[in-house]
Amino acid sequence: MNIREAKQQIKNAMVAYFTKDEFGNYRLPPARQRPVFLLGAPGIGKTAIMEQIAQELEVGFVSYSMTHHTRQSALGLPFIATKTYGGVEYQVSEYTMSEIIASVYEAMESTGRPEGILFLDEINCVSETLTPAMLQFLQYKVFGRHAVPDGWIVVTAGNPPEYNRTAHDFDIATWDRLKRIEVEPDYDVWREFAVSAEVHPAVITYLDIERNHFYAVEATPDGASFVTARGWDDLSAMIKLYEAQ
C-alpha cells in the first residue's frame, strides 16, 4: 500500500487502542494491543506519518532509532542491591530504568499528556546482543523490569533487507504478535505532500516528467546508488537556499 493508506490504517488502529469504556478502561486491554510494524524503504515518510497521527489525535510522541542503542541503554544499567530472603540478606543485580521507558515518562511530565505513541525505528537492525530483549519487548512491552505505561501505544518500523544489509527477519511467533503494514513508494501520494509543503517547483516539474526517477536503488561497482523521497525534499530545501543567496 502507499504511505497515505498506511497512515489511515495505523490511525484507525490507534483510535481503536485509545478507545475506553464507560468506566475509563481501555476496551482492548494494553496487553492485547498488538504493536504496529511499519515495513518500508528508507526515506519514504514512516516517521513523518507517525508524528502527524500523534498531532491529529492530540497525544504524546516519543521517537527512537534502535540502531543507536546498546543493550545497556535499552535495558538500563546494572547496580547491586540488597535483598532479604528468609531472613538472610543477599546481594542481587538490579537495573536502572531503561532510557527509552524513562523518555516516555519525561514526555508525560513535560506535555501533561498521559497517552501517546512510542515509535521505535529500525527495530529489525538491532545488534545481536539486543535482539533477545527487543523480541521480548515486542511481545510484552517490557524493557528489563520496566513496562511501557498504559495509554502508550507501541509502533515500530524497519527497512526490508534489500535496503539494509543489517536487517534480519523475525520468527513466526514474533510476527504473530505484530500488526504488520508494508508500504511502497508512490509518487502521486508524495506529489500531494510536495505541493502542500511547497517543495520547489523545479523538483516537482522534473519528477512529473521523469516519474521513474522518484525512488530507485541500484547496485554499482562503487556501491549502492539510490534516490529517495527524503532526498528530493532535501534537494528542494537546498535549491531554495541557493536562490535566496
The average pLDDT across 28-35 equals 84
Question: CA 18 to CA 144: how far, in whole Å?
Answer: 25
The amino acid sitting at 226 is: F
The average pLDDT across 131-145 equals 78
Position 40 confidence tier, pLDDT thresholds 50, 70, 90: confident
Burial degree of 190 (CB within 10 A; 0-12, 13-18, 19+): buried
The strand ranges marked E within the chain are 36-40, 60-65, 78-85, 88-95, 116-121, 142-143, 146-147, 152-158, 179-183, 216-220, 223-227
Which of 78-87, 100-109, 133-142, 165-174 has the lowest average pLDDT? 165-174
Helix (H, G, I), strand (E, B) or coil at 93: strand
Q: Is the pLDDT of residue 174 over 80?
A: no
Kindly state the cell numbers that stand for 119. Answer: 515509535
Kindly state the cell numbers that stand for 226. Answer: 539510490
- The reported pLDDT for the residue numbered 42 is 79
Domains of the chain, first to last: 3-184 (3.40.50.300), 185-245 (no CATH)
Kindly state the cell numbers that stand for 132. Answer: 533477545
- The reported pLDDT for the residue numbered 167 is 65
The average pLDDT across 24-39 equals 86
- The reported pLDDT for the residue numbered 219 is 64
Q: What average pLDDT is seen over the chain?
A: 84
The amino acid sitting at 54 is: A
Kindly state the cell numbers that stand for 213. Answer: 526517477
The average pLDDT across 63-71 equals 76
The average pLDDT across 178-205 equals 90
DSSP character string of 142-197: EETTEEPPTTEEEEEEE--TTT-TT--PPPHHHHTTSEEEEE---HHHHHHHHHHT
pLDDT tens digits, 91-136:
887 777 778 888 899 999 998 899 999 998 888 777 777 777 777 7
Helix (H, G, I), strand (E, B) or coil at 20: strand
Helix (H, G, I), strand (E, B) or coil at 26: strand
Kindly state the cell numbers that stand for 219. Answer: 547496485
Q: Which one has a higher pLDDT value, 76 or 105?
A: 105
Q: Which of 140, 117, 138 is nearest to 126 (CA)?
A: 138
Q: Is the pLDDT of residue 236 over 80?
A: yes
Position 220 confidence tier, pLDDT thresholds 50, 70, 90: low
Q: Is the pLDDT of residue 205 over 90?
A: yes
Q: Is the pLDDT of residue 166 over 70?
A: no
